[in-house]
Amino acid sequence: MSIINSIAKCKKRIGHGASRNVFYSRRYNVVIKRMRDPKCAFDNDQMQSECELFDSMTEAEKEIFPITGYVELKNGEKVVMMKKCEVVDDLNEYRRAFFAADGYRTQVKFWDEAARIAGLDTKTNKCLADFIKKNGITDVHHQNVGVLNNHFVLIDAGCR
117 contacts ligand ATP (rule: CB under 6 A): no
142 interacts with ligand ATP by CB under 6 A:
no
Which listed residue (64, 81, 87, 147) binds ligand ATP by CB under 6 A?
Answer: 87
DSSP H or E stretch at residue 146 = strand 145-148
Q: Which of 3, 10, 17, 48 binds ligand ATP (CB under 6 A)?
A: 17
User: To the nearest whole angstrom, how small is the minimum distance from the Cβ of residue 129 to Mg ion?
Assistant: 19
What number of other Cβ atoms are within 10 A of residue 120's Cβ?
Answer: 21
CA nearest 84: which of 39, 22, 143?
22
Among residues 17, 48, 116, 121, the one that binds Mg ion under rule CB under 5 A: 17
Per CB under 5 A, the list member of 43, 50, 63, 156 interacting with Mg ion is 156
Q: Which is nearer to ligand ATP, 38 or 109 (CB)?
A: 38
Nearer Cβ to ligand ATP (22/114): 22
φ/ψ region of 116 (left if φ > 0, alpha if ψ in -120 to 50, else beta) reads alpha
User: Would residue 105 be called left, alpha or beta, if left means φ above 0 and alpha means ψ between -120 and 50 degrees?
Assistant: alpha
50 lies in the binding site for ligand ATP (CB under 6 A): no
CB under 8 A, 24+ apart: contacts of 3-9:
3/28, 3/71, 3/81, 4/71, 4/73, 6/32, 7/32, 7/34, 7/71, 7/73, 7/79
113 binds Mg ion (CB under 5 A): no
Among 7, 23, 31, 125, binds ligand ATP (CB under 6 A): 31
Least Å distance, CB 82 to Mg ion, is 12
Residues in touch with Mg ion (CB under 5 A) = 17, 144, 156
